[in-house]
Structure 1
Amino acid sequence: MSPSSLRRRPPRIFALLLALTAGLSGCAVKRTVAPQTFMVPMSDGVKLATDVYLPPKVKPPYPTILVRTPYGKGVGKDLAGNLCPLGYAVVAQDLRGRFDSQGKPAIIFGNDGLGGHQDGHDTIRWVAQQSWSDGKLATWGGSALGIVQNMAAPDAPPALKGEVVIMAFSDFYHQAAYQGGVWRKELLEGWLKSQKLEDVNLPTFLDHPTYDAFWKELSAVARADKVNAPGVYIGGWYDIFLQGTINSFVTIQERGGPQARGHCFLVIGPIGHGALDPKIDYPRATQGPINLMAPMDLLAYWLKGEPDGVANLKPVNYYVMGDFEDKSAPGNFWRSADAWPPPAEVTPFYLHADHTLSRDRPAEDSKLTYRYDPQNPVPTLGGQNLFLAKGPVDQRPVESRPDVLVFTTEPLPEPVEVTGRLIAKLYVSSDCPDTDFTAKLCDVYPDGKSMLVTDGIRRASLRNSFEKPERLKPGEVYQVDVDLWSTSLIFNKGHRIRVAVSSSNAPRFEPNPNTGDPHPSPGRTRVATNTLFLSDKYPSQILLPLYNSTEGAGGKASGKPAVP
């Protein structure tokens, strides 16, 4: 089957992408292909259970798609049903210590290329040496199946020709475990317990609250120069690993080996790690490159030398979100670009004591104070979650709390597009030795609902370095930068831009006990009096990347929609 015929079926391929992202299968397949199961030896003698699916009615040798998973190698069945008829062999493998594979329980993702073993590298070599293999393979998968790809990519054997990495981190500490230096409680504890991996992993992760040698060994992005296979990195604006997807693309595109550098692709859509809750139907969301037309064409190019499907494919393809209620509003289209981030004017929007948000720098010395009680944290409402409701959820139920400071612009006279990385620069003090600060960016609709766009958090003691905590001194003012990761959204005319500042977002993040300890202890917490400074000397602000287009925020000129 040719790539052109495959393009006529984006809905099924998109379903396949989402199924693999969740570590599940459930989409229709072209045909059933029976596997052969092998126990593949690793360098230390441990054998990993591996299913091999070979194309029916096609003579070998074949290019291969490799999937390595902690969810059970049965996930390869549906993938093989779709890809084997196209002439690909499919290999699906249980990770070390999982399901039918040998090996003792170990740190998850620590044996795939970085860390104690190089199981990913050993498996790539094994595949390339088989009589049915043509010596070329690409890796595939989402979430955990994408993470193992990132971990195996540095110094991978030359048989690896490409990667399809869907919603995956490339730096365990910053992008998954301790975002902003704060333990991602809901994500890590929820996932580890759901996979019965908490006994070994959870105590170890909690024992390493700073970016130390343990975490540095599990950072693939720090070894981007050792990656010599191109990849397509697919993510979502509300995905738990959004910034990991973007950082993987940017670092390898700019610093990768000669076969990877300048040959990678990025696709970001209006999706989360699973369905948005409540459900929002963004127009044309599945009609752009995220429906997997581009990845399938890239596989054909990397493994079969068929360039037709990628000749006009731009390196960066992302969905510009907009007002999801007004179909005539600007936004809600796909845009293609040559690089990330796109051209933007990074503009400070200042927080004022009267709770307004504007481009005017504060002229008077002002400050606002609130009390943060870790026993009564601000509850999580939407955002980049796994088990909790995810996506752009209305924040009004928490914005009325006394420990949440809200700053809002006047209604916008014209649409404003924000596309790129966002940072909140907060000038703060606390009467406790440590505390956290959060920042949220919201799109306020004319009817008053305050829809979350993106948010972030930062541990105050890690304001200067994630490696070495520095305790706070009462009465001293500190700059704390909160990374809100990235987004692309057009605030419609008549809407307002809102920033909310607080010190907790639980259970997404573990509440800071305010004691100086990295994690809460039973009966050992303090209530913090935290102050946000709003003055010419201490101008708390959010830096918004305003999209730089010659024809405004409507997606014209260099921002031409990828889909009409």
Structure 2
Amino acid sequence: MKIRTSFPYETTHQDVRIPLSDGTRLYARVWRPMTDEPVPALLEYLPHRLTDRTAPRDWQRHPWYAGHGYASVRVDVRGHGNSEGMPGDAYSPVELSDGVEVIEWLAAQPWCSGRVGMFGISWGGCNALQIAALAPEPLEAVVTVCSSDDRYDNDVHYSGGSVLAVDMHARAAAMLASEALPPDPLYAGDAWRETWLWRLEAVEPLVHTWLGHQTRDAYWRHGSVCEDYGSIRAAVLAVGGWHDPYRDTVLRLVEHLGHLPDDRVRGLIGPWPHQYPDRGLPPGPAIGFLQETLRWWDRHLKGIGPGASAEPKLRSWISDSHPPATVYEELPGRWVGDPSWPSPNVGFVSYGLADAGTRSRRAPSTGPEGTPGSPGTRAEDAAPVLVRSPLHTGLDAGRFRPSGDDADLPPDQREEDGKSVCFDFAVEQETWILGRPRVRLRLTSPTPRGQVVARLCDVAPDGASTLVTRGVLNFSARRGRDKAVEWTPGTTEDVDVELNGIGHAFEVGHRIRLAVSSAYWPWIWPQPGSEAGFVLDPAGSTLELPVREVTVDAITFAEPEQSEPLGVVIPLTLDGQRPERLVVRDVAQGEWRLEVNPRYGGTRDYPDGLEFTEDAVDTYTINESGPLSARTRSDWSLRLHRPELPWDVRIETRSEIACDATSFSTSDEVVCREGDEVVFHRTWERRIPRNAG
């Protein structure tokens, strides 16, 4: 990583309040080049508190852009950080309309040329796309990183129509804790306490809304730009990582933004996790991402430079075969370029499951009493097989949104493969895949509800199994995500499962493995009756791989560089840090528990005197007794302390989800203290009908 200390422009920064039409003022930090000439403005718009939580990351890029001739602006969403107003739902109409007003305010400033770009990662990448779909006139270019174009089926809530227990729960709990944080008196002034207490009365756990919409209804269609790609007029650079769950958005944007001129849409997918590609967090290699975006801004906001016209429309990383591990500093592989998406370099190749060379299997059975068969069944034995996975299948899935930590990625999949039905295909010549694999399965379900999970693995000659990609289908969503249709028990249907996109090269001598399971906890919430599994008929089932032509493409990137860091200090403590992922098995009780430390930051000392401490643990439990034993819990503890004021605030939250056959039960609690005084305490209990998820 190169730290840039000199730039074409000297810079300055100041904090301002941006007025909205209803009188609310949003807190903003503006970095500007010291010049008398108006310059374009770049906006990053988030709820994640610019004076503390995102401050270290903000200082890596906003001053860098200012040093290259842009006014770079970071704004807190209404009701968050030091912005006024009440917190609301993610991507609410109010949040998006506020964003449009901010863009128009920026364009009207005397230091702005009237041309605005918008960028962001995750939440900020999503609302950049959604605001682009509203087409405010000054917004001419967007860089969206690790974002979603489909809020229902490609976000933290649902996958294939199934509830994402692992991230719907964790995300809702994290947002509850975040929304309970107060404004900072150093920036908000004496009104901070009144504003805080006012906000707390309006806080509502987001899980109530998210679980209340279990099919793709109007709630999820709002903000999903896939509903109308044609509404986007700004130039779009879409960026993702193969280890980020949102990466398919990049492929869809490149495909569906064809109404834009040729140089106004580009896609870039690297080996990265849910992080900006210049931060150097594993897996790498990292790239000079700020330089890439600068060329984008220069072309579309200043009208200078060649822009993207000479580049492939999609640049992707193809990883080589590699042994399984939970972290890689860098993955082996290479960059490739494709002129469009779908690409003329990619064609689907079909593998019949009845033709698999080996198959680990469970013996055919008409009910739940089937017994395990022996691995290595020959392909000619293509009789239907019972798929009935243990309910704790999925504990080795890895983190849903990897962020560069040591336990993020899936370990060796042999144990998970042993709980699945597997179909292996020998790799006789190097095989590159790029895109979304597809599986068609002929299934017979003995119950009206259930789910199927398909994992694609790269199996080395020594048997090590590396997860490549995966996909999920809730049986009730098999005829569309907008409806819930129960399966008629005992009947046979063909279902299609689309796996997440990937770029991967299978090495000669390895095996391509399709592993099929009936459970995947805690990624997806198990369905009532799903412990019975289902019967799979290999004779009517296929795996289709998007096989890419093997090419040598001259694609390179500059070395990563950033501006000088903010100077946040992480103090050493005597307390040992809990493991990132800990699996506990209670043999006598038949219970499995996964404890996750999300590693959001620990204790940090800021240059402005703030001491910020946060600690969290997410727990996922399931019992062999049945799928209705599944439950989740998240505990958060946060402290904001300014010794010089003095100011000391603590927040503790608890969030739980459990279920029965007909309902989800949620329980949430928030306790806020100023010093030793409890200033707010509230609990919520809800029962939410289980109509699909």
Q: TM-score, normalised by structure 1?
A: 0.81
Give distance in 1, aligned partners of 2:355 and 2:301: 59
Paired AA for residue 20 in structure 2 = M
Q: Which residue of 2 aligns with 1:400?
A: 418
* Greater per-residue strand proportion: 2
Give distance in 1, aligned partners of 2:4 and 2:493: 55
- Whether 1:46 and 2:24 are equivalent positions in the alignment is yes
**Structure 1 position 53, deviation (Å):** 2.0
Q: Which residue of 1 aligns with 2:612?
A: none
DSSP-derived class of the 2:480 partner? coil
DSSP-derived class of the 1:174 partner? coil
Q: Which residue of 2 aligns with 1:200?
A: 205
Q: Which runs of 5+ in 1 are unaligned?
A: 1-10, 13-26, 515-525
> Which whole-Å deviations, capped at 9, do the CAs of 1:241-279 have from their partners, x for residues lacking one?
111232233222x24xx5x66621100001121599xx9
1:59 to 28, 32, 36: 36
Q: Which residue of 1 aligns with 2:294?
A: 296
Contact 2:217/2:482, CA 8 A, preserved across alignment = yes
1:249 to 244, 248, 254: 254
DSSP-derived class of the 2:476 partner? helix
2:15 to 37, 45, 51: 37
Contact 1:373/1:528, CA 8 A, preserved across alignment = no
**RMSD of Structure 2 on Structure 1 (CA):** 2.9
Q: Which residue of 1 aligns with 2:216?
A: 211
Contact 2:272/2:283, CA 8 A, preserved across alignment = no
Paired AA for residue 35 in structure 1 = H
Contact 1:96/1:111, CA 8 A, preserved across alignment = no
Q: Which residue of 2 aligns with 1:17?
A: none
**Structure 1 position 203, deviation (Å):** 0.7
Q: Please say which structure displays the higher CA radius of gyration.
A: 2
Paired AA for residue 409 in structure 1 = F
Q: 1:51 to 1:309 in 2, by over 3 A?
A: same
- Whether 1:531 and 2:556 are equivalent positions in the alignment is no
Give distance in 2, aligned partners of 1:242 and 1:169: 8
Give distance in 2, aligned partners of 1:475 and 1:325: 41
Contact 1:238/1:390, CA 8 A, preserved across alignment = no
- Whether 1:509 and 2:524 are equivalent positions in the alignment is yes
**Structure 1 position 216, deviation (Å):** 1.0
Contact 1:380/1:506, CA 8 A, preserved across alignment = no
Paired AA for residue 133 in structure 1 = C
Q: 1:34 to 1:200 in 2, by over 3 A?
A: farther
DSSP-derived class of the 1:104 partner? coil
Give distance in 2, aligned partners of 1:421 and 1:370: 24
Alignment of 1:110-129 (within 5 A): 110-111=92-93, 118-129=97-108
Q: 1:416 to 1:48 in 2, by over 3 A?
A: same
- Whether 1:73 and 2:50 are equivalent positions in the alignment is yes
Q: What is the number of residues matched between the two proteins?
A: 494
Q: 1:271 to 1:88 in 2, by over 3 A?
A: same
Give distance in 1, aligned partners of 2:123 and 2:219: 19
**Structure 1 position 280, deviation (Å):** 6.9
**Structure 1 position 324, deviation (Å):** 3.7
Q: 1:409 to 1:486 in 2, by over 3 A?
A: same
> Which whole-Å deviations, capped at 9, do the CAs of 1:301-352 have from their partners, x for residues lacking one?
11221124545322211111112479xxx97111122112323221111223
- Whether 1:84 and 2:63 are equivalent positions in the alignment is no
Contact 1:380/1:507, CA 8 A, preserved across alignment = no
- Whether 1:562 and 2:544 are equivalent positions in the alignment is no
Give distance in 2, aligned partners of 1:242 and 1:305: 29
Contact 1:54/1:89, CA 8 A, preserved across alignment = yes
Give distance in 2, aligned partners of 1:211 and 1:529: 25
Contact 1:414/1:492, CA 8 A, preserved across alignment = yes
- Whether 1:266 and 2:267 are equivalent positions in the alignment is yes
Paired AA for residue 456 in structure 1 = G
Give distance in 2, aligned partners of 1:529 and 1:309: 53
**Structure 1 position 29, deviation (Å):** 6.1
Q: 1:318 to 1:532 in 2, by over 3 A?
A: same
Give distance in 2, aligned partners of 1:309 and 1:155: 24
Alignment of 1:163-174 (within 5 A): 163-174=142-153
Q: Which residue of 1 aligns with 2:128?
A: 149
Q: Which residue of 1 aligns with 2:353?
A: 351
Contact 2:121/2:276, CA 8 A, preserved across alignment = no
Contact 2:453/2:473, CA 8 A, preserved across alignment = yes
Paired AA for residue 385 in structure 1 = R
Contact 1:355/1:406, CA 8 A, preserved across alignment = no
Contact 1:333/1:563, CA 8 A, preserved across alignment = no
Paired AA for residue 528 in structure 1 = A
Q: 1:449 to 1:274 in 2, by over 3 A?
A: farther
Q: TM-score, normalised by structure 2?
A: 0.66
Q: Which runs of 5+ in 2 are unaligned?
A: 180-202, 325-330, 360-378, 558-693
Q: Which residue of 2 aligns with 1:191?
A: 171
Q: 1:127 to 1:104 in 2, by over 3 A?
A: same
Contact 2:271/2:283, CA 8 A, preserved across alignment = no
Contact 2:455/2:469, CA 8 A, preserved across alignment = yes
> Which whole-Å deviations, capped at 9, do the CAs of 1:103-156 have from their partners, x for residues lacking one?
22211122467xxx5111111111011111110111112111111101111132
**Structure 1 position 383, deviation (Å):** 6.7
Q: 1:184 to 1:30 in 2, by over 3 A?
A: farther
DSSP-derived class of the 1:448 partner? coil
Q: 1:281 to 1:468 in 2, by over 3 A?
A: closer
Paired AA for residue 316 in structure 2 = Y
